[in-house]
Amino acid sequence: MRFSIAQDDLVERITLATKEVFSMMLGGEAVPGPPRTEDGGVGPTEGVVALVGLTGPLVGTGSVCCSPELACRLAGQMLMTEYHAVDNDVLDAVGEVANMIIGNLKTTIEDQFGAMWLSVPTVVYGRNFTTRSMGRHNWTVVPFTCDGMEMQVQMFLTEANDLTKLMRPGLTVLQKG
């Protein structure tokens, strides 16, 4: 049996999960832009990136990327406090946003394919870095506009048995540029 999700379907699941998290936890709106596919290297080269791994019948990684300014805004809306610089609270809040979005997505995938497991989120903040996943696969990237600023939700998923295409499933490498 082959396990796979069409890109349109994945985009719809990402969009629904992201909009729900924003409306329920952040009291705001995330407006989706046109989705795209990127090969291998993904994401911005600076800012805040939260990564969550998925494993089960499908394996992969989901990420939420945004600017430090938007990260502070999201943390402020979640915690009802004003943040002017990225600190542990801000990183923690962005990690939790990623956890909820990818966790919601995981639940919809489980309904179709069976039990899946999530990693604990990892959050990276800095400048001039490169994010790359090992293996040959495409990332689905959905940009959102929140409070006039852009955030990206990105995901790649592949069948767990398809290991020949992957050196290390779910492994993401961050390189200082």
Interface with other proteins (CB under 8 A):
20-21, 24-25, 75, 78-80, 88-89, 92-93, 95-96, 99-100, 102-104, 106-107, 110-111, 115-116, 118, 120
Cβ atoms within 10 Å, residue 35: 17
Residue 64 Cβ, how far from other proteins at the closest point, in Å?
13
Query: Tokens 């961050």 belong to which residue?
Result: 174
User: Would you give the DSSP letter of residue 3?
Assistant: -
Provide the residue type at 173 as one letter: V
Residue 24 Cβ, how far from other proteins at the closest point, in Å?
4
- Using the minimum distance from each CB to other proteins, give the nearer residue, 47 or 121: 121
DSSP string, 25-69: HSSS--EE---EEEESEES-SSEEEEEEEEESSEEEEEEEEE-HH
Cβ atoms within 10 Å, residue 115: 10
Residue 137 Cβ, how far from other proteins at the closest point, in Å?
24
- Using the minimum distance from each CB to other proteins, give the nearer residue, 47 or 103: 103
Rg of the chain over Cα atoms, rounded to whole angstroms, equals 15
- Using the minimum distance from each CB to other proteins, give the nearer residue, 6 or 80: 80
Residue 126 Cβ, how far from other proteins at the closest point, in Å?
20
- Using the minimum distance from each CB to other proteins, give the nearer residue, 38 or 69: 69
